[in-house]
Amino acid sequence: MEFNGITGHSLQLNILDRLSRTGLHHHTMLFTGQAGIGKMLIARRFLMSLFCSDENPPCGTCNSCRQVKAGSHPDFITIVPGEKGNIPVGNETKKEEGSIRWLIDRLSMAPVTGRRAVLIDDAHCMNTQAQNSFLKTMEEPSPSTIIILVSSQKSRLLPTVKSRCSELRFTRLSDKELRDILSASGYNTETIDRTLPVAGGSVGNAGILADETLFTALVQYYQSLCEFLLVESVFTAHFKDITKTISEDRMIDFLTHMFRAHLLHVLTGSVTHIPWIRNELTDIHKLKGMIKILLALKKGQSHNLNIRMAIKGMLYSLCFENGSELPLTDLSYMTG
């Protein structure tokens, strides 16, 4: 495989290179790992290589490669979430384009070029009905078809879906790799220095955090949490300005990265040049407790958790009860 333009993931790229050359790949694969680290780019590059006849595919210039890049290849199908953020199962009779039933119907036809590739981005955005509808196709696609599901939230995929896939796990990019990518993309040093500890090794996250208005709102909320941990008064901060731009789920991720960087700074002093760190807060117990709270909130989102109430309740428990009764597992009392 031609790796030009891809940074990091050397182990995964070597595996895919071997599979591309030998043709011994599983008919259904699952690429997992956090959002924005290059899974989709690599999946597309791998599938493109299967159509390319160049000695070191994909060449990017042959007719097949150009068609894939233009989105006009007759046998390269990409499914992505729609405007509502989901991948619909589709109507039994209408089978609207982009739905799972449309895809199943399309795969029942013979490929134009003799083989077919399917790439499903954010596969976890299929609901239960859509995932169940796709099971038989995943298990028994035609011999000429390869399917890749890409997901940053593997826990939302049904066990029956995961069991039918060969999984390839991707890890976060290193700080150096991410810095190199951001520098090559034109970000200035100041922006990189302030966003790098919060991006979690994700180019996608870094791009979001480059928005100064959003980043300022995140820092203000982080500072409010730090202030409460220092003073232990009444917590009144809100995050409306943040969730106007990003989801609560992503907000929790960013705050978790902030407090992990803060904790690492306190423990080792190795994290430098972070202008937003609240240096007065050095209580390791409280910093670890804050991270546990955020991780518990992340887990609790699947139970319709009221994030605002949960943060307040768990902060009070951490500070006023010294963490002894910190409700990090049972969050049912804060749902609704």
Q: Reduced to 3 states, what is the DSSP secondary structure of residue 227?
A: helix
Where in the chain does DSSP place strands (E)? 28-32, 76-79, 116-120, 145-151, 166-169
What's residue 39's pLDDT? 96
The whole-number average pLDDT for the span 54-63 is 91
Q: Which residue has the higher pLDDT, 268 or 135?
A: 135
Say which residues have a Cβ less than 8 Å from residue 126's Cβ, sequence separation at least 6: 86, 87, 89, 100, 120, 134
What's residue 332's pLDDT? 39
Say which residues have a Cβ less than 8 Å from residue 160's Cβ, sequence separation at least 6: 131, 132, 135
Distance CA 39, CA 170 (A): 7
Break the chain into its structural domains and give their ranges: 10-169, 211-334
The whole-number average pLDDT for the span 53-73 is 92
Closest CA to 140 of 44, 26, 51, 47: 26
What's residue 320's pLDDT? 67
Burial degree of 266 (CB within 10 A; 0-12, 13-18, 19+)? middle
The whole-number average pLDDT for the span 32-43 is 94
Closest CA to 248 of 300, 177, 286, 193: 300
pLDDT of residue 232 exceeding 80, the answer is no
Closest CA to 321 of 283, 278, 286: 286
Q: Which residue has the higher pLDDT, 324 or 74?
A: 74
The structure's pTM equals: 0.83
Size of the chain in residues: 336
What is the CATH code of the structural domain delimited by 10-169? 3.40.50.300
- For residues 40 and 56, the answer to whether their CB atoms sit within 8 Å is no
pLDDT of residue 4 exceeding 90, the answer is no
pLDDT in tens, 123-170: 999 999 999 999 999 988 888 899 999 999 898 999 999 999 999 999
